Amino acid sequence: MDQMNLTMLTDFYEITMANGYLEHGLKDRIAYFDMFFRKVPDNGGFVIMAGVEQLIEYLKNLRFSEEDIDYLRGKKLFSEDFLRYLKNFKFSCDVWAVPEGTPIFPNEPIVIVRGPVIEAQFVETMVLLTINHQSLIATKANRIVRAAQGRGVMEFGSRRAQGYHGAIYGARAAYIGGCIGTACTIAERDFEIPVLGTMAHSWIQMFPNELEAFRAYARTYPDQCTFLVDTYNVLKSGVPNAIRIFHEEVVPRGFRPKGIRIDSGDITYLSKEARRMLDEAGFPDCKIVASNSLDEYIIRDILIQGAQVDSFGVGERLITSKSEPVFSGVYKLTAVEEDGMIIPKIKLSENVGKITNPAFKQVWRLFDKSTHKAIADVITIYDETIDEKNPYVIFDPEYIWKRKTVTNFYAKRLLTKIFDQGNCVYQSPELKEIKSYCKGQIETLWDEVLRFENPHNYYVDLSKPLWEMKQRLLQEYSVK
Amino acid sequence: MDQMNLTMLTDFYEITMANGYLEHGLKDRIAYFDMFFRKVPDNGGFVIMAGVEQLIEYLKNLRFSEEDIDYLRGKKLFSEDFLRYLKNFKFSCDVWAVPEGTPIFPNEPIVIVRGPVIEAQFVETMVLLTINHQSLIATKANRIVRAAQGRGVMEFGSRRAQGYHGAIYGARAAYIGGCIGTACTIAERDFEIPVLGTMAHSWIQMFPNELEAFRAYARTYPDQCTFLVDTYNVLKSGVPNAIRIFHEEVVPRGFRPKGIRIDSGDITYLSKEARRMLDEAGFPDCKIVASNSLDEYIIRDILIQGAQVDSFGVGERLITSKSEPVFSGVYKLTAVEEDGMIIPKIKLSENVGKITNPAFKQVWRLFDKSTHKAIADVITIYDETIDEKNPYVIFDPEYIWKRKTVTNFYAKRLLTKIFDQGNCVYQSPELKEIKSYCKGQIETLWDEVLRFENPHNYYVDLSKPLWEMKQRLLQEYSVK
């Protein structure tokens, strides 16, 4: 896709603070920021990380144009020193991120930015915007895909997306989350996501009648016939006409019908009847596609009722994550460097859940050596190691008497370095690889974590050194 | 903003149908499509039209690049004739739209596209995506602005938007809907929306303590001091430190404090206490800004409880329209031309609410001559006129015995031509003008329509000729 200059897509306070840091001699003070989230959307058990590739693109292209600087000068708020600094700006931070497609959990750092505070602070808005959006949609898509129990789910939501990137990167995230394709053409051109689509109701209406509309379509695309059968009446008109055209135009040309699509009415009833009619007509291989305001809950319900649907086209409820359209990742200062020492920082809050985890950190996932299932995640101070050879004790950071000794495990670091002193040191995998990695990683989760409602809380614990550091800071900063 | 080539941001079926229309000799068949919607988000009384300026940009830039055509050729679905057609593609449709900022109601055409069916069909995805998104956000913003009862509402949601355009055009739409500004810097650079913002919690944490952080800020921006007071403890630390710095650094420099911002905790309680403390300290003019997961319901409630808030920063619940993140505009064929005659078309549905209004139409708004309040909208066949000199009878299209004779009124056409044979013939007003036009238009609505819950259904009726045409088509097309 065409490059956009998104440098100025930032909350204005990032710029007022930057100018202030420069003025107060804090330009080169090294700071550490974590992106993390507190709650899984839809009360689910996990989130799927997505958006890292676009975050990398943004960071690579971060520069202030003459136009940007002229605009800022016009605000009469900023020093010429600062505007000169922006003109010569070169991103020089270290950045770590959890790879796309990885299941992630509340309170874990999923992106860490370390560098001069002006820079590390400045990127806040875009780090959050990029990862929040794609992770939200990948997570929702995966819920819907799991509800479909192996049937294909296609992303059909462009027209109801929240803006152009909502459609395009939404399609990308949905593919990571498990969708088999999209209707969004540009997403295939730019990301090689398989694109699908046949006809709208207007195609039917442009011909003298439904039969002639199907016939015309079959003559142009005899091997691609998925007919939309609900323009007039699914069972009295659409399906019989489809069957007739399959016989008259498709089979004689040496092809098999691909499918019919039902976009309104009671999908359970109509699909069962349509299935029977297609089978009786000799087309048991003709697939039934359902669309129309679907989501994971409706798909689950109609499958329980025995709907004969082979694949689903899911639009607005996927592309906006309608039932919970916000993923609330936040970006918080966790440490600064003074004389080469890392000084941890904490943010208190009257709301206990909003207290941050201090320090420069790493996230480890412990896997069972026999089952390869994920047992728990442990957040550690960055230079801690977890020795796989010895039993490792994990404990709940809130109810510390809840503890468990893990044995026979291996541990993997989740955060990978993607920028080193401003240079990208990470090559994003092909999208297909991300998708298949995602599928594999979800298979490491216990079914209890995958449940739609009231899932088991996967363990995300703090290491003993990190927990103790946090307690010390809580004592130190709390207002008496 | 940089131009993006969004031509391929289209549902793939638009392209398969286009190729089919060409093959079947329907390329030059003139078709009419309406965009309309069926339901107001949040069960509100009206929607605010927005996005027309971006729709115009898209239509002006509609062309297929070599890259697009190569990509499509690679699909092995399309004829070389068709690819040649795309290479030479020039948009040639007529387009009408309701101007931005106008209150609109269910079932009214808000965009009409007339032209060769390939073209008029092709633009479906982008017409819907553009208008759906911005209208959704303008409408939500207006609900929040009305809840604030004259207090300023600032759009603070970029980091939680659904993609980059979600943030940028979301800020634009929020401004149309009545927000006084945004935190999204690029929205000021490109749309001249006033941008606002002071400091994040991390600013406070970068200094030895809160007092020094406020002091540093005050020295850099003595006339811009809105301090974030909830990093440690609002009443024990934030407000006292703010007051001290107002006295020590702001007043001595000849300025007055601008405000404090509370971003967590109980806004009602904290704002009342903070107000009292500021007043006692001699700063009754210091404003209190509240943020933290606000929306129209919370704002209404805390104001009822007497919260002392002067302005609101509203983020995720505005920028995603969280409580209802989808605006379901649709795009339906309503007529074709044959031998110069306009032949109306209808789409039936087992769901009565999904039956379309046929024909090439106009929407009229009838205003009371004395009060200038909007009485009703009437959808007519395009060349009908409404004679203001005579009483006009409106009737409910479903319950036709519900009728009303309107007298002493004037009637305005809502749909304005924006493209004539592919040429833009409309100049979008300045954004500020759109915003003020919007405010004025909402003032023409009765309070009953403005109610948040269970508002009065504003009358949207069909003219007698249109109603009769629809009945005739229903008879004709219904499957016996």
- Apex CA B35: angle with CA B33 and CA B39, to 5°? 145
Residue A3's pLDDT is what?
Answer: 60
Q: In what order do the strands lie in the sheet with A152-155?
A: A181-182, A152-155, A311-314, A287-290, A259-262, A226-228
How confident is the prediction for chain A on average, in pLDDT? Answer: 95
Q: Average pLDDT by consecutive 10-residue portion of chain B (480 residues)?
A: 78 97 95 97 97 97 95 97 97 98 98 98 98 98 98 98 98 98 97 94 94 98 96 94 98 98 95 98 98 94 97 98 97 95 86 86 98 98 95 93 95 98 98 98 97 93 96 82
- Is residue A439 a contact partner of residue A142, using CB atoms and an 8 Å limit? no
| Chain B CA closest to residue A34 | B202
Contact B206 A232 (CB under 8 A): no
Work out the minimum CA distance from B8 to partner chain A, whole angstroms.
Answer: 5
Contact flag B221-A77 (C-beta cutoff 8 Å): yes
Widest distance between CA atoms in chain A: 85
A198-285 under CATH 3.20.20.70, yes or no: yes
Q: How confident is the model at residue A479 (pLDDT cuts 50, 70, 90)?
A: low
- Chain B contacts of A234, Cβ < 8 Å? 350
| Interface with B, mutate which of A76, A159, A292, A478 (most B CBs under 10 A) | A159
A68 closest CB neighbour out of B4, B189, B219: B189
- Chain A residues with beta carbon closer than 8 angstroms to that of B132: 159-160
CB contact under 8 A, B159 and A216: no
Q: What is the pLDDT of residues A419-447, one digit of tens each?
A: 999 999 999 999 999 999 999 999 999 99
Tens digits of residue pLDDT in A83-116: 999 999 999 999 999 999 999 999 999 999 999 9
Contacts of A26 in chain B (CB under 8 A): 206
Query: What pLDDT digit, counting tens, does each position of A241-288 carry?
Result: 999 999 999 999 999 999 999 999 999 999 999 999 999 999 999 999
Phi first, then psi, for residue B169 (nearest 5°) are -75, -25
Give the minimum alpha-carbon distance from A82 to chain B in angstroms, rounded to a whole number: 12
pLDDT of residue A1: 43
Q: Which of B162, B220, B328 sits opposite A166 (nearest CB)?
A: B162
Distance CA(B115)–CA(B31), nearest Å, equals: 6
Q: Which of B38, B66, B162 would you mutate first to test chain A, the one with the most A CBs within 10 A? A: B162
Cross-chain residue pair B20–A165, CB shorter than 8 Å: no
Tell me which of A2, A3, A11 to substitute to probe the interface with B (most B C-beta atoms closer than 10 Å): A11
Fold of B140-319: TIM Barrel (3.20.20)
pLDDT digits (tens, 9 = 90+) for A182-215: 999 999 999 999 999 989 999 999 999 999 999 9
Which residues does chain A have within 8 Å of residue B321's beta carbon, measured at their own beta carbons?
Answer: 325
Query: Would the CB atoms of A224 and B68 count as touching at under 8 Å?
Result: no
How far is B34 from B108, CA to CA, in rounded Å? 9
Residue percentage of chain A with pLDDT more than 70: 99
From the list A10, A33, A160, the residue facing B185 with the nearest CB is A10
Q: What's the rounded Cα separation, in Å, for the pair A172 and A174?
A: 5
pLDDT per position as a tens digit, A363-400: 999 999 999 999 999 999 999 999 999 999 999 998 99
| Backbone torsions φ then ψ of B103, nearest 5 degrees | -65, 135
Q: Residues 6 or more apart from B105 whose CB is under 8 A from it? A: B40, B46, B47, B377, B458, B460
The token pair at B377 is: 């909208």
- Using a CB-CB cut-off of 8 Å, the residues of chain B touching A161 are 129, 133, 162-163
Q: Across the interface, do B17 and A199 touch by the CB < 8 Å criterion? A: yes
Closest CA to A160 of B318, B51, B328, B107: B328
Q: Looking at beta carbons, which residues of chain B come within 8 Å of A208?
A: none
Which chain A residue is nearest to residue B161, measuring alpha carbons?
A: A129
Print the SS3 string covering chain B: CCCCCCCCCCEHHHHHHHHHHHHCCCCCCEEEEEEECCCCHHHCCCEECCCHHHHHHHHHCCCCCHHHHHHHHHCCCCCHHHHHHHHCCCCCCEEEECCCCCEECCCCCCEEEEEEHHHHHHCHHHHHHHHHHHHHHHHHHHHHHHHCCCCEEEECCHHHCCCHHHHHHHHHHHHHCCCCEECEHHHHHHHCCCECCCCCHHHHHCCCCHHHHHHHHHHHCCCCCEEECCCCCHHHHHHHHHHHHHHHHHHHHCCCCCEEEECCCCHHHHHHHHHHHHHHCCCCCCEEEECCCCCHHHHHHHHHCCCCCCEEEECHHHHCCCCCCCCCCEEEEEEEEECCEEEECCCCCCCHHHCCCCCCEEEEEEEECCCCCEEEEEEEECCCCCCCCCCEEEECCCCCCCEEEECCEEEEECCEEEEECCEECCCCCCHHHHHHHHHHHHCCCCHHHHCCCCCCCCCEEECHHHHHHHHHHHHHHCCC
Q: Give me the pLDDT at residue B2, please.
A: 45
- Beta carbon pairs, A and B, within 8 Å: 329
Structural domain boundaries in chain B: 12-137+329-477, 140-319
Q: Which residue of B has its CA nearest to A195?
A: B12
Nearest chain B CA: its distance from A425 CA (Å) = 25
Q: CATH second-level architecture of A12-137+325-477?
A: Alpha-Beta Barrel (3.20)
B12-137+329-477 in CATH: which number? 3.20.140.10
A112-128 tens-digit pLDDT: 999 999 999 999 999 99
Cβ distance B169 to A163 less than 8 Å, yes or no, reads yes
On whether the CB atoms of residues B131 and B49 are closer than 8 A, the answer is yes
Q: What is the pLDDT of residue B39?
A: 96
Reported confidence tier of residue A353, pLDDT bands at 50, 70, 90: confident
| pLDDT score at A480 | 56
Q: Which residue of A206, A266, A352 is the best one to mutate when testing the B interface, meaning the one whose CB has the most B CBs within 10 A?
A: A206
- Judging contacts by C-beta atoms under 8 Å, the chain B residues touching residue A317 are 326
CB contact under 8 A, B206 and A19: no
Q: Mutate which of B7, B11, B140 to disrupt the A interface (most A C-beta within 10 Å)?
A: B11
Partners of B136 on chain A (C-beta within 8 Å) are 162
Predicted local distance difference test score (pLDDT) of residue A406: 97
pLDDT digits (tens, 9 = 90+) for A44-70: 999 999 999 999 999 999 999 999 999
